[in-house]
Protein backbone atom coordinates (compact mmCIF):
# COMPACT_ATOMS: atom_id res chain seq x y z
CA UNK A 1 0.00 0.00 0.00
CA UNK A 2 1.44 3.31 -1.12
CA UNK A 3 -0.01 6.33 0.66
CA UNK A 4 1.41 8.56 -2.07
CA UNK A 5 -1.28 7.21 -4.39
CA UNK A 6 -3.82 9.25 -2.42
CA UNK A 7 -4.06 13.00 -2.01
CA UNK A 8 -4.84 14.09 1.52
CA UNK A 9 -8.19 15.81 2.05
CA UNK A 10 -8.78 18.23 4.92
CA UNK A 11 -12.47 19.13 5.27
CA UNK A 12 -13.82 21.68 7.72
CA UNK A 13 -17.28 20.95 9.11
CA UNK A 14 -18.57 24.28 10.41
CA UNK A 15 -21.71 22.62 11.85
CA UNK A 16 -24.44 25.11 12.87
CA UNK A 17 -22.14 28.11 13.02
CA UNK A 18 -21.80 31.32 10.99
CA UNK A 19 -24.41 33.47 9.32
CA UNK A 20 -23.77 34.24 5.63
CA UNK A 21 -21.97 37.48 6.54
CA UNK A 22 -19.91 35.74 9.23
CA UNK A 23 -19.10 32.90 6.82
CA UNK A 24 -17.82 35.36 4.23
CA UNK A 25 -15.60 36.99 6.83
CA UNK A 26 -14.25 33.60 7.92
CA UNK A 27 -13.42 32.77 4.31
CA UNK A 28 -11.47 36.02 4.03
CA UNK A 29 -9.30 34.79 6.90
CA UNK A 30 -9.11 31.17 5.72
CA UNK A 31 -7.98 31.84 2.17
CA UNK A 32 -4.51 33.20 3.09
CA UNK A 33 -4.21 30.62 5.89
CA UNK A 34 -4.42 27.72 3.40
CA UNK A 35 -2.64 29.35 0.46
CA UNK A 36 -0.24 26.96 -1.25
CA UNK A 37 -1.91 23.92 0.30
CA UNK A 38 -0.33 20.59 -0.60
CA UNK A 39 -3.63 18.78 -0.04
CA UNK A 40 -7.28 19.15 -1.03
CA UNK A 41 -9.11 21.64 1.19
CA UNK A 42 -12.88 21.62 1.69
CA UNK A 43 -15.15 23.77 3.84
CA UNK A 44 -18.72 22.74 4.73
CA UNK A 45 -20.78 25.69 5.97
CA UNK A 46 -24.50 25.69 6.86
CA UNK A 47 -26.84 25.59 3.87
CA UNK A 48 -27.77 29.28 4.10
CA UNK A 49 -24.10 30.30 3.92
CA UNK A 50 -23.26 28.20 0.86
CA UNK A 51 -23.75 30.99 -1.72
CA UNK A 52 -21.57 33.43 0.23
CA UNK A 53 -18.84 30.83 0.75
CA UNK A 54 -18.96 29.68 -2.87
CA UNK A 55 -18.54 33.28 -3.99
CA UNK A 56 -15.48 33.73 -1.78
CA UNK A 57 -14.01 30.36 -2.81
CA UNK A 58 -14.30 31.00 -6.55
CA UNK A 59 -10.88 30.69 -8.18
CA UNK A 60 -9.22 29.52 -4.96
CA UNK A 61 -7.87 26.19 -3.74
CA UNK A 62 -10.85 25.73 -1.41
CA UNK A 63 -13.71 23.49 -2.51
CA UNK A 64 -17.13 23.75 -0.87
CA UNK A 65 -19.21 20.97 0.63
CA UNK A 66 -22.61 20.59 2.29
CA UNK A 67 -23.21 19.11 5.73
CA UNK A 68 -25.98 16.79 4.59
CA UNK A 69 -28.02 15.84 1.52
CA UNK A 70 -31.41 14.23 1.01
CA UNK A 71 -31.80 10.99 -0.93
CA UNK A 72 -34.70 12.02 -3.17
CA UNK A 73 -34.43 14.38 -6.13
CA UNK A 74 -37.55 16.34 -5.18
CA UNK A 75 -40.86 15.99 -3.41
CA UNK A 76 -42.70 16.58 -0.17
CA UNK A 77 -39.66 16.60 2.12
CA UNK A 78 -39.99 19.87 3.99
CA UNK A 79 -36.68 21.24 5.17
CA UNK A 80 -34.52 18.92 3.06
CA UNK A 81 -32.03 19.74 0.29
CA UNK A 82 -31.52 17.59 -2.81
CA UNK A 83 -28.13 16.71 -4.27
CA UNK A 84 -28.92 18.29 -7.64
CA UNK A 85 -29.72 21.58 -5.90
CA UNK A 86 -26.29 21.54 -4.28
CA UNK A 87 -24.50 20.54 -7.47
CA UNK A 88 -26.11 23.38 -9.41
CA UNK A 89 -24.84 25.86 -6.82
CA UNK A 90 -21.29 24.60 -7.34
CA UNK A 91 -21.02 22.42 -4.23
CA UNK A 92 -18.63 19.51 -4.78
CA UNK A 93 -18.79 17.50 -1.53
CA UNK A 94 -21.48 16.35 0.90
CA UNK A 95 -21.06 14.93 4.40
CA UNK A 96 -23.39 12.01 5.09
CA UNK A 97 -23.94 10.03 8.27
CA UNK A 98 -22.21 12.38 10.69
CA UNK A 99 -22.59 11.10 14.24
CA UNK A 100 -24.62 14.16 15.20
CA UNK A 101 -27.09 13.33 12.43
CA UNK A 102 -27.26 9.76 13.70
CA UNK A 103 -27.59 10.79 17.35
CA UNK A 104 -30.04 13.70 17.10
CA UNK A 105 -31.93 13.18 13.85
CA UNK A 106 -32.48 9.45 13.51
CA UNK A 107 -29.96 8.76 10.75
CA UNK A 108 -29.46 5.03 10.14
CA UNK A 109 -26.94 3.01 8.18
CA UNK A 110 -29.61 2.51 5.53
CA UNK A 111 -30.40 6.22 5.12
CA UNK A 112 -26.67 6.97 5.03
CA UNK A 113 -26.42 4.58 2.09
CA UNK A 114 -29.30 6.32 0.30
CA UNK A 115 -27.89 9.78 0.91
CA UNK A 116 -24.43 8.73 -0.27
CA UNK A 117 -25.96 7.19 -3.38
CA UNK A 118 -27.83 10.41 -4.17
CA UNK A 119 -24.70 12.51 -3.66
CA UNK A 120 -22.54 10.39 -5.94
CA UNK A 121 -25.25 10.17 -8.61
CA UNK A 122 -25.37 13.97 -8.67
CA UNK A 123 -21.61 14.17 -9.16
CA UNK A 124 -20.75 15.09 -5.59
CA UNK A 125 -18.06 13.42 -3.52
CA UNK A 126 -19.69 11.78 -0.50
CA UNK A 127 -17.81 12.01 2.79
CA UNK A 128 -19.30 9.00 4.58
CA UNK A 129 -18.91 9.09 8.36
CA UNK A 130 -18.60 5.98 10.51
CA UNK A 131 -17.69 5.63 14.18
CA UNK A 132 -18.35 4.04 17.54
CA UNK A 133 -19.43 5.51 20.85
CA UNK A 134 -17.51 5.08 24.10
CA UNK A 135 -19.58 2.12 25.34
CA UNK A 136 -19.04 0.28 22.06
CA UNK A 137 -15.29 0.87 22.22
CA UNK A 138 -15.14 -0.36 25.80
CA UNK A 139 -17.12 -3.45 24.79
CA UNK A 140 -14.48 -4.26 22.18
CA UNK A 141 -16.84 -4.14 19.18
CA UNK A 142 -15.29 -1.16 17.40
CA UNK A 143 -13.97 -3.01 14.36
CA UNK A 144 -17.12 -5.11 13.92
CA UNK A 145 -19.31 -2.01 14.12
CA UNK A 146 -17.17 0.05 11.74
CA UNK A 147 -17.10 -2.77 9.21
CA UNK A 148 -20.90 -3.07 9.39
CA UNK A 149 -21.47 0.68 9.05
CA UNK A 150 -19.09 0.89 6.10
CA UNK A 151 -20.47 -2.18 4.35
CA UNK A 152 -24.08 -0.97 4.61
CA UNK A 153 -23.16 2.59 3.59
CA UNK A 154 -21.54 1.26 0.42
CA UNK A 155 -24.32 -1.17 -0.47
CA UNK A 156 -24.79 -1.13 -4.26
CA UNK A 157 -21.66 0.95 -4.87
CA UNK A 158 -19.29 -0.10 -7.64
CA UNK A 159 -15.52 0.31 -7.78
CA UNK A 160 -16.11 3.26 -10.12
CA UNK A 161 -18.43 4.87 -7.57
CA UNK A 162 -15.68 4.76 -4.97
CA UNK A 163 -13.77 7.38 -6.93
CA UNK A 164 -16.34 9.81 -5.52
CA UNK A 165 -16.27 8.52 -1.92
CA UNK A 166 -14.25 9.44 1.15
CA UNK A 167 -14.65 7.47 4.38
CA UNK A 168 -14.34 9.50 7.58
CA UNK A 169 -13.66 7.59 10.79
CA UNK A 170 -14.99 9.71 13.61
CA UNK A 171 -15.09 8.06 17.04
CA UNK A 172 -18.18 9.55 18.64
CA UNK A 173 -16.47 9.70 22.03
CA UNK A 174 -13.83 12.05 20.60
CA UNK A 175 -16.11 14.57 18.86
CA UNK A 176 -16.36 17.91 20.63
CA UNK A 177 -15.11 16.36 23.86
CA UNK A 178 -11.48 17.36 23.59
CA UNK A 179 -10.59 13.66 23.71
CA UNK A 180 -8.76 12.29 20.71
CA UNK A 181 -8.00 8.78 19.61
CA UNK A 182 -4.30 8.08 19.80
CA UNK A 183 -2.50 7.92 16.49
CA UNK A 184 -2.30 4.15 16.94
CA UNK A 185 -6.06 3.86 17.58
CA UNK A 186 -6.88 6.00 14.56
CA UNK A 187 -4.53 3.99 12.36
CA UNK A 188 -5.93 0.68 13.59
CA UNK A 189 -9.49 1.57 12.60
CA UNK A 190 -8.58 3.30 9.34
CA UNK A 191 -6.52 0.23 8.38
CA UNK A 192 -9.52 -2.00 9.18
CA UNK A 193 -11.69 0.12 6.89
CA UNK A 194 -9.17 -0.21 4.07
CA UNK A 195 -8.98 -3.97 4.65
CA UNK A 196 -12.77 -4.18 4.27
CA UNK A 197 -12.61 -2.11 1.07
CA UNK A 198 -9.98 -4.51 -0.26
CA UNK A 199 -12.25 -7.46 0.55
CA UNK A 200 -15.16 -5.82 -1.26
CA UNK A 201 -13.42 -4.18 -4.21
CA UNK A 202 -9.83 -5.43 -4.38
CA UNK A 203 -6.63 -3.97 -3.02
CA UNK A 204 -6.00 -1.59 -5.92
CA UNK A 205 -9.37 0.11 -5.44
CA UNK A 206 -8.96 0.16 -1.65
CA UNK A 207 -5.55 1.81 -1.97
CA UNK A 208 -7.13 4.64 -3.93
CA UNK A 209 -9.81 5.59 -1.37
CA UNK A 210 -9.04 8.43 1.02
CA UNK A 211 -9.86 7.72 4.66
CA UNK A 212 -10.08 10.66 7.04
CA UNK A 213 -9.88 10.84 10.81
CA UNK A 214 -12.53 13.04 12.40
CA UNK A 215 -12.30 13.15 16.16
CA UNK A 216 -11.00 16.45 17.59
CA UNK A 217 -8.05 16.74 15.21
CA UNK A 218 -6.35 20.04 15.91
CA UNK A 219 -3.18 21.99 15.18
CA UNK A 220 -1.27 20.17 17.93
CA UNK A 221 -2.08 16.55 17.08
CA UNK A 222 -2.62 16.75 13.31
CA UNK A 223 0.94 15.93 12.24
CA UNK A 224 1.11 12.72 14.28
CA UNK A 225 -2.33 11.55 13.13
CA UNK A 226 -1.71 12.39 9.49
CA UNK A 227 1.64 10.57 9.52
CA UNK A 228 -0.16 7.23 9.93
CA UNK A 229 -0.14 5.04 6.79
CA UNK A 230 -3.93 4.81 6.49
CA UNK A 231 -4.96 8.27 7.73
CA UNK A 232 -5.28 10.37 4.59
CA UNK A 233 -6.81 13.53 5.97
CA UNK A 234 -9.17 14.96 8.52
CA UNK A 235 -12.80 15.94 8.99
CA UNK A 236 -12.28 18.95 11.22
CA UNK A 237 -14.89 20.43 13.56
CA UNK A 238 -14.04 23.23 15.98
CA UNK A 239 -10.56 23.89 14.61
CA UNK A 240 -12.02 24.63 11.16
CA UNK A 241 -13.51 27.84 12.59
CA UNK A 242 -10.05 29.06 13.63
CA UNK A 243 -8.07 30.14 10.54
CA UNK A 244 -4.62 29.74 12.10
CA UNK A 245 -5.40 26.27 13.46
CA UNK A 246 -7.06 25.11 10.24
CA UNK A 247 -4.11 26.42 8.27
CA UNK A 248 -1.71 24.47 10.50
CA UNK A 249 -3.68 21.26 9.92
CA UNK A 250 -3.69 21.83 6.17
CA UNK A 251 0.05 22.44 6.27
CA UNK A 252 0.59 19.21 8.22
CA UNK A 253 -1.42 17.28 5.62
CA UNK A 254 0.62 18.65 2.77
CA UNK A 255 3.99 17.60 4.13
Catalytic residues, which ones? 98, 170
Angle ∠(207,7,2) on CA atoms, nearest 5: 35
Which residues, including other chains, have CB under 8 Å from residue 105's CB and lie 6 or more apart? none
β-pair partners for 129: 168
Cα dihedral sign, 122-167-162-10: positive
3-class secondary-structure state, position 35:
coil
Alpha-carbon distance 142 to 133, whole Å?
Answer: 9
E strand or H helix at 42:
strand 40-44
Alpha-carbon distance 104 to 97, whole Å?
Answer: 11
Distance (Å) of CA 89 to CA 56, 82, 161: 13, 11, 22
Alpha-carbon distance 17 to 14, whole Å?
Answer: 6
Q: Residue 216, Cα to own-chain centre: how many angstroms? A: 13
CB 131 within 8 A of CB 98: no
Q: Give φ, ψ of 205 to 5 degrees.
A: -65, -45
Among residues 32, 84, 31, the alpha carbon closest in space to that of 62 is found at 31
Amino acid sequence: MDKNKRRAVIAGNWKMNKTPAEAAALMDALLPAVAGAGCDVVVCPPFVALPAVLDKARGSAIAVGAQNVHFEKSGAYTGEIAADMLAELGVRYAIVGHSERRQYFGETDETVNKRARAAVDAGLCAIICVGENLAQREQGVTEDLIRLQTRVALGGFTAEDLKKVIIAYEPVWAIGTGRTATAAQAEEVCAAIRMLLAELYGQKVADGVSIQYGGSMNAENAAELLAQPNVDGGLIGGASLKPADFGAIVKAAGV
